[in-house]
Amino acid sequence: HFPVLPPSSYQALRTSSAAISFGTLIGILALWFGISVPLTFLGAYFGSKIKQFRCPVHTNQIPRHIPRQNFFTKPIFGIIIGGILPFGCIFIQLFFILNSMSHQMYFMFGFLFLVFIILLITCSEATVLLCYFHLCAEDYRWWWRAFFTSSFTAVYLFIYAVHYFFSKLQITGFASSILYFGYTMVIVLIFFLFTGNHRTTSCISDSLKRPGGSHNVISIN
């Protein structure tokens, strides 16, 4: 809820009719502190009651030596490449969604849901595949790499939003530009956290699927 407040606050300072009213703002804060915060503590309570996780394999106290990596197995290359394919899945629908913000109405919600499912599958497969390549290269530091591999799609999303702003939109006012980039950053941040968290979970579930596998031993060490 809180990332929406800065653009709305700017609208209120400009006395814009699109600004969130004070009553709506109080309602959002009530939803946050009355529902989200109690559910957070409730989830933490039930999470503390869950049985402690035990690794299916023996882990070494001394970190394993990582061999010298080539260019294709380094983190930067995998992170940049890993976000291209998921962005290609949502590119067309992203164009229509951005058009609906200016002058057209978006109505293909069924197809949007299908693209969303394809995005989940594509990001999961790409992240697990790149994680497997890194483990085959005996580089066990996969957790943050798995997070940034799929969440880097949000960077391409932001680049395309900037390109669309300068090439398609005819916005000259400073206030309109602030609102566009403010809400764009909110969407990019949510997309970044969602894709990164989901794909890290996919890598964890894949690495624990076969406790006796060789790649599993490397991934948990």
Q: Which residue has the higher pLDDT, 148 or 11?
A: 148
What pTM, to 2 d.p., does this model score? Answer: 0.69
Sign of the four-CA dihedral 50, 51, 54, 56: negative
Domain ranges of the chain: 1-52, 71-220
DSSP assignment of 92-127: HHHHHHHHHHHT-----HHHHHHHHHHHHHHHHHHH
pLDDT digits (tens, 9 = 90+) for 117-167: 888 888 888 888 888 887 788 877 777 888 888 888 899 999 998 988 888
Q: Which residues of 159-195 are buried (b: 16+ CB within 10 A; e: fewer)?
A: ebbeebeeeeeeeeeeeeeebbbbbbeeebeebbeeb
Separation CA 18–CA 11 (nearest Å):
7
**211's torsion region: left (phi>0), alpha (psi -120 to 50) or beta?**
alpha
| CB proximity list for 43: less than 8 A, separation 6 or greater | none
Lowest mean pLDDT among 82-86, 161-165, 168-172: 168-172
